[in-house]
Structure 1
Amino acid sequence: MEHQALLDATNLLCPEPVMMLHVEMRKLLAKDVLKVIATDPSTTRDIPKFCQFLGHNLIKREQEGDIYYYWIEKKEA
């Protein structure tokens, strides 16, 4: 899936992936897509809640073994 930015949060544990996600989302323009790669299983709970709380669109998520992938579209201002 097409994305404008990438956040590699592999080998980071809660709360670091979500903290980094917050910083990266601020850098994007509205409707840009950020791809997140993570290895912390808590991201399966934390990232959807982050998106819901802040109004961003979690377009897609996948898991391959112990690696989690998320595509998040930044909300419009």
Structure 2
Amino acid sequence: MREKWAGAQLILPDTLLHNAAETNGVLWKIYETVYRIEHGAPEDGESLESAHARLMEAKRLLFDLREAMRRDLGVSSPA
């Protein structure tokens, strides 16, 4: 994931970089939470349920990123 993100930062246009960085940050936090839970060291308030809830919230960011990428490619009309 880190390698793909590093590569994306080199080629993404500025118009997409902010959306991608925000989405990547949220997904990375979810990954860290699940990793800690799997290894028996969750932080206060962390559970699979809370990680799942954050993932459902991340769906909006993923949708927004997809739409921004489609607009950048010229295959989707501006909102």
Question: Is the structural similarity TM-score above 0.5?
Answer: no
Instruction: Determine which structure has the larger strand proportion and give its number.
Output: 1
Task: Give TM-score, length-normalised by structure 2.
Answer: 0.29
TM-score normalised per structure 1: 0.30
Larger Rg: 2
- Higher helix proportion: 2
